[in-house]
Amino acid sequence: MKKLLNDPHAYVEEMLAGLVAAHPDVYRLHGETGRVIARADPKRPGKVGIVSGGGSGHLPVFTGYVGTGLIDACAIGDVFASPSVEQMVDAIRAADAGAGVLRLYGNYGGDVMNFDMAGDLVEIEDDIAATTVLLADDVASAPPGEAEKRRGVAGMVYAFKIAGAKAEEGGDLETVTALAQRTADACRSIGAALGPCTVPQAGKPTFEIEDDEMEMGMGIHGEPGVWRGRLRSADEVASEMMDKLLEDMPLGRGERASVLVNSLGATPLEELYILYRVVSKRLMEAGVEIVMPLVGRYATSMEMTGVSFTLCKLDDEMERLLKAPCNCAFWRV
């Protein structure tokens, strides 16, 4: 395991300690569990809260997007593991400012079970109204007919941004929830993996792959993709990824979309920009106007090698909110 760490069991706590020490103006540790990060600035009474949560190992997702115009609090599990109900309850309380709380997170069984229970608890104990929107944007994880089974991946970033901006400008719980759902429905993602990462506590790579192989459609925790075969050229890979996204959500002349070309960790910016040529060419050929493209590391799996593309189809309000100000340690608009 080629990592700079101390005790693997302290990985998450030490990571959070460093995050808060580096950005005390943005993040604070909240509550007793040591696993909830909340906004450092004071709550604004009457603002709808947005919480997220999930396993560690995906920075900036999820914790990193706590900030102005984004999410208010986040519950953090072990690497690739769900946070506990208690941690999620703490996160919901941290986000609550009297106007209800939206739970906005990825479609993974453990997270769904725990967040549902946490929501029930705060409704009973604290009288906090809690809604849910699940991201399920990974087109490789289930066919269109079973879209509710799909896993949530980098589309989350758009949902945080757009719903977060709406909450910041004073939208009520119903409005913010509806907008988060509209964004979730408008996102499609697909990944391609070249190499694994290592979960510190496990000490071995999440999957094995030959030196000349790649896997199209692999999930961010190493979930099986749609094919494994020889490594193809950047242009071939990008074209196939765009085919799969546009097949699932056709975009035509005059439509507007943002696109995220995301590194899963180790894949450098240079390669993302080589891929972006194809992405922008394909969208322009289809007559789609590209709004605020994102290229970088927005949702990772530590040092995994590979990329993901996310398309987010925009209406006027979503576009306005995507471009609205936000601030966290990893994204400033």
Q: Write out the binding residues for its own copies, residues 33-92 only, by CB under 8 A.
A: 56-57, 59-60, 64
Q: Residue 139 in contact with residue 245, Cβ under 8 Å?
A: yes
Chain centroid to Cα 195, Å, comes to: 20
17 binds its own copies (CB under 8 A): yes
Q: Which candidate, 333, 326, 327, 271, places its Cα nearest to that of 297?
A: 271
111 binds its own copies (CB under 8 A): no
Closest approach of its own copies to the CB of residue 290, in Å: 9
Cβ neighbours for 31, distance < 8 A, ≥ 6 positions apart: 90, 93, 94
Residue selected from 2, 109, 285, 316 as contacting its own copies according to rule CB under 8 A: 2
Closest approach of its own copies to the CB of residue 24, in Å: 10
Closest approach of its own copies to the CB of residue 78, in Å: 12
Identify which of residues 117 and 274 has a Cβ nearer to its own copies in the complex. Answer: 274
Closest approach of its own copies to the CB of residue 297, in Å: 7
100 binds its own copies (CB under 8 A): no
Give the C-alpha separation, 150 to 158, whole Å.
Answer: 17
DSSP 137: -
Identify which of residues 13 and 223 has a Cβ nearer to its own copies in the complex. Answer: 13
285 binds its own copies (CB under 8 A): no
Cβ neighbours for 67, distance < 8 A, ≥ 6 positions apart: 26, 39, 326, 327, 328, 329, 331
Closest approach of its own copies to the CB of residue 282, in Å: 12
Identify which of residues 174 and 243 has a Cβ nearer to its own copies in the complex. Answer: 243
Q: Residue 182 in contact with residue 315, Cβ under 8 Å?
A: yes
* 23 belongs to the catalytic site: no
Place of tokens 């519950």: 75
Residue selected from 126, 250, 273, 325 as contacting its own copies according to rule CB under 8 A: 273
Q: Residue 153 in contact with residue 137, Cβ under 8 Å?
A: yes
Phi first, then psi: what are they for 39, rounded to 5°?
-60, 140
Residue selected from 51, 275, 311, 314 as contacting its own copies according to rule CB under 8 A: 275
Give the C-alpha separation, 125 to 221, whole Å.
Answer: 34
Residue selected from 22, 113, 120, 287 as contacting its own copies according to rule CB under 8 A: 22
Q: Residue 279 in contact with residue 312, Cβ under 8 Å?
A: no
Residue selected from 233, 252, 254, 285 as contacting its own copies according to rule CB under 8 A: 233
Identify which of residues 48 and 312 has a Cβ nearer to its own copies in the complex. Answer: 312
Place of tokens 């894949």: 267
Q: Write out the binding residues for its own copies, residues 185-214 only, by CB under 8 A.
A: 192, 194-195, 197, 211
Residues in a beta bridge with 311: 188, 259
Give the C-alpha separation, 30 to 206, whole Å.
Answer: 31
Closest approach of its own copies to the CB of residue 49, in Å: 25
* 30 belongs to the catalytic site: no
253 binds its own copies (CB under 8 A): no
Identify which of residues 193 and 251 has a Cβ nearer to its own copies in the complex. Answer: 193
Cβ neighbours for 87, distance < 8 A, ≥ 6 positions apart: 33, 35, 36, 53, 75, 76, 77
Residues in the chain: 333
Active site residues: 58, 221
Binding site for its own copies (CB under 8 A): 2-6, 11, 14-19, 21-22, 56-57, 59-60, 64, 192, 194-195, 197, 211, 231, 233-235, 237, 261, 265-277, 280, 293, 295-297, 300, 302-303, 305, 307, 329-330, 332
